Amino acid sequence: MRNHLYKWMIEEATDHCYRNCLNYFEHNSSILDVGIGNGLMMKTYHPLIKSKGLKITGLDINKAYLNHCDSLIHSYGLENHIRICNQPVETYIPLNGNCYDFILFSMSFMLLKDQKAVLQRVKNWLKPGGKVVFFQTIFKMKSKLMEYVKPRLRYITTIDFGSVTYENDFFKLLEETNLSILEDRLLKRKWFKGEYRMIVTEKANETK
């Protein structure tokens, strides 16, 4: 039941996220996907993952989602492309230091309690020239309604949608953590003036 609710509530967002991000990633890239969820994207994008030779490590704290994700990995023969780990990003330690070309927050960044501390950690896991990529709903204008409703959706759906992310606050956080924006794509405008955005960043001292 939980996976059916997950699919119904965020299938569109999942598709926008992975269609854009997987196409953006370079061939043979190593990727840390923070919040891989139940892996629904594999049904559509397993050919792309294979053809580009991507190596994805997926983190999630929900064991039920990861069990579903694991079944899809085997169904689509992605054992050499995707490995999953039931661990929060706050305690995860990569096996090989600076080992990722991309770190992806796939609709998961707004769920983190200490976003600044997480960014300070994960940017040290990037290879030289590596990038941190965010996909999430961003609001430009304050919305008291969304601030009230969004955190409470989990009581109805069992899905935690986190807090509202405002553009100015998000950009300020990137600056404070020494991440510079390379690309900011508006993917779709949503209800209550929210926007699906894909934002690509790198460590500021590596900006060309």
**Exposure of 88 by Cβ count < 10 A (0-12 exposed, 13-18 middle, 19+ buried)?**
middle
Does the pLDDT value for residue 7 go beyond 80? no
Lookup: tokens for 65: 């989602």
SS3 102: strand
Taking all residues of the chain, what is their mean pLDDT, rounded to a whole number?
A: 86
CA 46 to chain centre: 17
Domains and CATH numbers, the chain: 2-206 (3.40.50.150)
- Top-confidence range, 86-95, 184-193, 197-206: 86-95
Mean local confidence (pLDDT), 93-115: 90
Q: How confident is the model at residue 153 (pLDDT cuts 50, 70, 90)?
A: very low
Ranges assigned E (strand) in 23-143: 30-34, 55-60, 82-86, 100-106, 126-139
Phi-psi region of 54 (alpha: psi -120 to 50; beta: other; left: phi over 0): beta
pLDDT, tens digit, 9 for 90 and up, residues 22-55:
999 999 999 999 999 999 999 999 999 999 999 9
| Minimum mean pLDDT range among 62-66, 109-113, 162-166 | 162-166
According to DSSP, the residues that pair with 186 across neighbouring strands are 197
Question: What whole-number distance in Å separates Cα of residue 137 and Cα of residue 189?
Answer: 9
Q: What percent of the chain has pLDDT over 70?
A: 82
Alpha-carbon dihedral angle through residues 117, 170, 124, 38, given to the nearest 10 degrees: 90
According to DSSP, the residues that pair with 85 across neighbouring strands are 59
